[in-house]
Amino acid sequence: MGCGAEAALDGDPPPTIVVEPSERSAEFEFEVVQPVLGTTNCPVAEIRFEDRSSGDPERWFWEFSDGSTSLDQNPVVEGAVSEATLSVIWGNQRDSITKRIEIALC
């Protein structure tokens, strides 16, 4: 048979392949700490991110809307970040999540 398929022998049904849902997923929470006055007289927020991913990731990669990135598991950023994306990696598997952050500073 073509494409790597094999015929069942003696009328046996082909084997059943069961794919279990992954118990690995990216997730995070964040907390906006009291803004402080920045150098431009505009408040700057400190945002603390906490990885809440399941499956014990091996590596973390954060991307923020201001163009900054982090490899920390739980980074802290300052500034007007309106979106954050966390990508977590387990071996050759990867999952990502993006969340909007709404902060009224100026």
Please say whether the beta carbons of 2 and 32 come within 8 A: no
What is the pTM (predicted TM-score) of this model? Answer: 0.70
**pLDDT (0 to 100) of residue 1:** 47
Q: Which domains does the chain have, with CATH numbers?
A: 23-100 (2.60.40.10)
**What is the per-residue pLDDT for 45?**
81
| Residue stretches of the chain with pLDDT short of 50 | 1-8
Radius of gyration of the chain from its Cα atoms, rounded to whole angstroms: 22
Model pLDDT, residue 80: 73
Q: Is 26 helix (H, G, I), strand (E, B) or coil?
A: coil
